[in-house]
Structure 1
Amino acid sequence: MTLPHLSRLIVTIDAGVARVVIDNPPVNVLDAALAGELVTLLDVLRDDPTVRVIVFESANPDFFIAHVDMTLIDTPTAFDEVARRLPAAPNPFQALALRLRAQPQLTIVKLEGQARGGGAEFVAAADLSFAALESAGLGQIEALMGILPGGAGTQLLSERTTRGRALEIVLGADLFDAATAERYGWINRALPAADLDGFVDRLARNIAALPEGVIAAAKTALPPLDLDVGLQREHDAWAGLFTRPAAEALIRGGLKDGAQTPDGERTLEALLRRLWERLRPT
């Protein structure tokens, strides 16, 4: 198989395992270009029977995928081209999650740093996810921007956790450490950072070495839930909030205050809360 030219993904394949390193500086924002490369790679690998497992990780130890690009507020059609290559869904961000879930290979996320918003949705859409105890963090921060998760996040959380925990994640809008994310069922397992690489590598190789047909049979026997109705509800709720003045003010203000820069992203929840304190009507 010849891999396409990819500028934001570093791909190596060995012993049936494709390792995909995300490298979209400075913080791995999920922009249209990165989404397009992910779809291209998934499409190419889908038809390669020699690849049994796909492992996603980041070139930046601090950030896996930060979140969807906030500058889309000025370019709302930026994902339209990518959407044409994705499954039918109320919006392209949901469609990307559905595309990842439909991959015939087993998909694994190795999470060392932070993943918020669309990045956290990508983690939840993968088949398996493992995180570093000391450094990994997950957050659905959309409420702090005046909106809700719109890339299947509410539905994926409902699938993985309880309703109460999903509401806590969505409305509390905090960054969850790996131990709590494991306890809530958001990820498979939290491991010491020193053990994460070895564990994921061993698991991926062991699964890739299984007899032909076993992975496909397991994914058929354990299908993901049908999210169609829930995705439409989520999209309607998300889109309805997106048109309100608070969302635009928080997104534009967040960018001005340092969102999508390494310093701003490390404490993004605090940045957005301070911003809302300034903007909140008195």
Structure 2
Amino acid sequence: MEQTTTDILVERADAVLTIAFNRPGRKNAITAAMYQTMADALVAAQTDTAVRAILIRGSAGIFSAGNDLEDFMKTPPVGNNPPVFQFLRALSSAEKPVVAAVAGPAVGIGTTLLLHCDLVYAADTASFSLPFTQLGLCPEAASSLLLQRVAGYQAAAEKLLLGEAFDAAEAHRMGIVNRVLPAADVDTFAATQAAKLAALPASSLRITKSLMKRASHQELQTQMDEEAVHFAKMLLAPEAREAFKAFFEKRKPDFRQFD
């Protein structure tokens, strides 16, 4: 089974469903339409008995530059059930194991989505960043909860407050990724791991994952909803407008005018 859109490739080979960012000319920056395609694929996978594991990867040595800011400004994630939140809910509630292969940059949601995956493998060329404060925004995807849970408060505070990039070795030390591999090997290795999962009893995987996540599921959804309320308000605030304007003008934003 293969479904090709302009920017997302959804393909099932044997029992592994692969969702691949396919927009290398824009560093795999994600649009609302791309979120919708991924959300629909994840929802369909829930009830498709032919799918036993899910693999998320990038293309052309790039994972994702995060949100496409131009599209983001045209279709901000506000209102009733925007595609980005459909995607995050589908990913966070996926019953089947989700594996990610990360090469090159993983920015913003390109990093936070990894916190919802079960296994994450990174190329030694991978870089990660959570530049929400630099854009006048706040964390999303429950990252304010999940990052400190896996990395500890101080490490999470450094990444979320400063928003500075960090490399694959540090992501591994923080517990965001399982293993760091040569860039030429990461996609194949992650696909092999997904195939191993797909060969195991589906009920055993489903129940094991459910037992590990059940205690925190409601807390995660509550945190994600609260982040979304703040995020939507901050997206319309002067600080974000200044950050986005500076991005398009290729200059540093000036936040000194804001309290």
Normalising by structure 2, what TM-score? 0.86
Native 8 Å contact 1:94 1:152 kept in 2 = no
1:251 to 218, 222, 244: 244
- Separation (CA, whole Å) in 2 of partners of 1:3 and 1:46: 17
Q: Describe the superposition over 1:125-182 as per-residue Cα deviations: whole angstroms up to 9, x where unpaired.
A: 222211011x101110011112212332222313322111111110121111001001
Tell me the SS of whatever aligns to 1:115. Answer: strand
Question: Unaligned regions of 5+ residues in structure 1, if any?
Answer: 85-91, 258-273
State the shift of 1:236 in Å.
4.3
Name 2:173's counterpart in structure 1: 183
Q: Describe the superposition over 1:162-221 as per-residue Cα deviations: whole angstroms up to 9, x where unpaired.
A: 111111110121111001001011222222224323422321111111124121121122
Name 2:67's counterpart in structure 1: 68
Question: Unaligned regions of 5+ residues in structure 2, if any?
Answer: none
Q: Does 1:12 align with 2:3?
A: no
Q: Which amino acid in 1 is paired with 2:38?
A: L
Name 2:130's counterpart in structure 1: 140
Q: Does 1:113 align with 2:107?
A: no
Q: Does 1:206 align with 2:205?
A: no
Native 8 Å contact 2:7 2:22 kept in 1 = yes
Native 8 Å contact 1:109 1:129 kept in 2 = yes
Relative to structure 1, is the Cα distance of residues 73 and 221 closer, same or farther in structure 2, using a 3 angstrom cutoff? closer
Native 8 Å contact 1:98 1:125 kept in 2 = no
- Separation (CA, whole Å) in 2 of partners of 1:230 and 1:187: 22
- Separation (CA, whole Å) in 2 of partners of 1:73 and 1:58: 20
Name 1:268's counterpart in structure 2: none
Native 8 Å contact 1:94 1:150 kept in 2 = no
1:159 to 149, 159, 166: 149
State the shift of 1:9 in Å.
2.1
- Separation (CA, whole Å) in 1 of partners of 2:8 and 2:238: 36
Native 8 Å contact 1:93 1:152 kept in 2 = no
Q: Which amino acid in 2 is paired with 1:223?
A: K
- Separation (CA, whole Å) in 1 of partners of 2:72 and 2:12: 37
Name 1:270's counterpart in structure 2: none
Name 2:121's counterpart in structure 1: 130
State the shift of 1:279 in Å.
5.8
State the shift of 1:251 in Å.
0.9
Relative to structure 1, is the Cα distance of residues 150 and 203 closer, same or farther in structure 2, using a 3 angstrom cutoff? closer
- Separation (CA, whole Å) in 1 of partners of 2:5 and 2:252: 37
Q: Which amino acid in 1 is paired with 2:134?
A: L
State the shift of 1:242 in Å.
3.3
Native 8 Å contact 1:52 1:215 kept in 2 = no
Native 8 Å contact 2:52 2:202 kept in 1 = no
Q: Which amino acid in 2 is paired with 1:172?
A: L
Name 1:265's counterpart in structure 2: none
Q: Does 1:275 align with 2:238?
A: no
Native 8 Å contact 1:8 1:37 kept in 2 = no
Name 1:31's counterpart in structure 2: 31
State the shift of 1:254 in Å.
0.3
Name 1:54's counterpart in structure 2: 54
State the shift of 1:95 in Å.
4.5
